Structure formats: structure tokens, C-alpha cells
Amino acid sequence: MQSPVLVSACLLGLKTRYDGADAYSQKAVDLLKKRAVVPVCPEQLGGLPTPRPRAEISSGDGVSVLEGISGVIDEFGSDATAFFLKGAHEVLKIARIVGAKEAYLKEKSPSCGTGTICRDSVCVPGPGVTAALLKKEGLALKGF
């Protein structure tokens, strides 16, 4: 039997994005039909409301944030780093509780981007904060 898989809640149609919308992915849903799915939203788990101000990693990527080299700043200039770090660690805690070995995450997100994040309306290579932590801890990641 396959282990449960973590999935960005917005990909499943839950309205958890910063703007109160979802990012429903039929492709992700189809791939996960026979899997035990655990929806997660790191930003909500970190204590941020929905909707919330758009946020971006100020420089580098999620690895830089985990190392304390960079931060996450919202559109109004407020430091949201602590919320993003807390959310990433809460998602990791959930992964350990349910025995998840992989995660299907929303690309371009400062939390969930697996290979692409956006800064100043431009997409750049690199993982988000949660993706970086999950990868560091050995989970396989797939971006949507």
C-alpha cells in the first residue's frame, strides 16, 4: 500500500491562496485518485489569514530562508518570514505523523514552489520555503 501524499490544498480546489481563490488542478486530482491525500496550506498552518497580502522571498529561495540568509516580505513591506517558517515546519510535522514520503505542491508559490518561485512578477528558479524543507528532509516533490 502506498503511503499518504501531501498536496497543496489550493490544487484540490480549496480556497486557500493568498487572494482567497484556489488553483484547482485536474491533472493533480487525476494522478491522486487512488491515493490517500492530505491537503496542506503552509501559510494558513503558519498562522496567516486567507485572504492575505501577497508575499515573496526577498532574495535567493526557500533554502536561503531556512538558512536565515533571506526572508519573506509581503506586498506592504511587512516581514512574514516567521509565518512561512512555522508553516513549513507544521507541514513537515504532518508528513511525519501520516508517514508521507512525497508531496504534490503548487508551483510558483513562496511556500510550495518546487522548482520555481516568483519575485517582482518574474518567475525565478528555486524552491519555496516549505518545498525546501520537505526536500531537505527526504520527501519527493512534484510541482503543479
pLDDT per residue, tens digit, the chain (144 aa), is 789 999 999 999 999 999 999 999 999 999 999 999 999 999 999 999 999 999 999 999 999 999 999 999 999 999 999 999 999 999 999 999 999 999 999 999 999 999 999 998 899 999 999 999 999 999 999 999
Q: In 3D, which of 139, 46, 55 has the Cα closest to residue 90?
A: 46
Eight-state DSSP code of residue 5: E
Containing structural domain, residue 41: 5-143
Q: Is the pTM of this model over 0.85?
A: yes
Distance CA 114, CA 130 (A): 9
Rg, Å, the chain Cα set: 14
Residue 53 contacts residue 78 (beta carbons within 8 Å): yes
Cis bond before residue 4 (omega within 30° of 0): no
Task: Give which of 55, 65, 61, 70 is closest to 19, Cα–Cα.
Answer: 55
How many domains does one find in the chain? 1
Question: Which residue's C-alpha cell is 518546487?
Answer: 114
SS3 72: strand
